[in-house]
Structure 1
């Protein structure tokens, strides 16, 4: 039987390591677990804790190709973070200069959500618990 307990990590390749590191660590508040410079690959790998069991691996590589994300390109659509207070999170992002879309209501669950983008325009969602 194939059993999964949870998502362990999400890997993201960024175009500007310093900007993305600031965004995910300083603005979103994810704790740095480890930062590794891989000289042979001319890249960094930053492990960030979302919580006690889930992580983001932030990678940098020289000249990574752009990935189409909109309109609705095939593949991973977005990354969603569950939050206890959507309004407080939106206010925080907006104070940090991060634009958020209008808060919407999920017609299937009745939960509120909104979207915003990381520095590489990766679509991110806040989904109120």
Structure 2
């Protein structure tokens, strides 16, 4: 059921009206009147609740969940792309070098220790220096 709007006069500080004007796009409001109606609706909903946390908690939880899902998707995509590149690199290196099983096992242990020690942060320059020493 839609009721017709009526005009009311309320006192408001000019600085607050300026702030409303600046935030119209952020609030997705079509006018200052729409902005004020949205704000009053939100505040009435807040007051109807016994605690503000009961009102804001579901909104915050859903927002955080959405952000985490987005980040998780992006990280998963990047990890997949990196794994493909790593697989290509490993195949090229394996095809161009003759490495015996003992050397490969020793290299695996050495790399595992290095990754654990440096928390996975190894630069090409560090690997180059290690190989030359």
Q: TM-score, normalised by structure 2?
A: 0.22
Give 1 or 2: higher helix fraction.
2
Larger RCO (alpha carbons 8 Å, 6+ apart): 1
Give 1 or 2: higher strand fraction.
1
Q: TM-score, normalised by structure 1?
A: 0.22
Larger CA Rg, structure 1 vs 2: 2
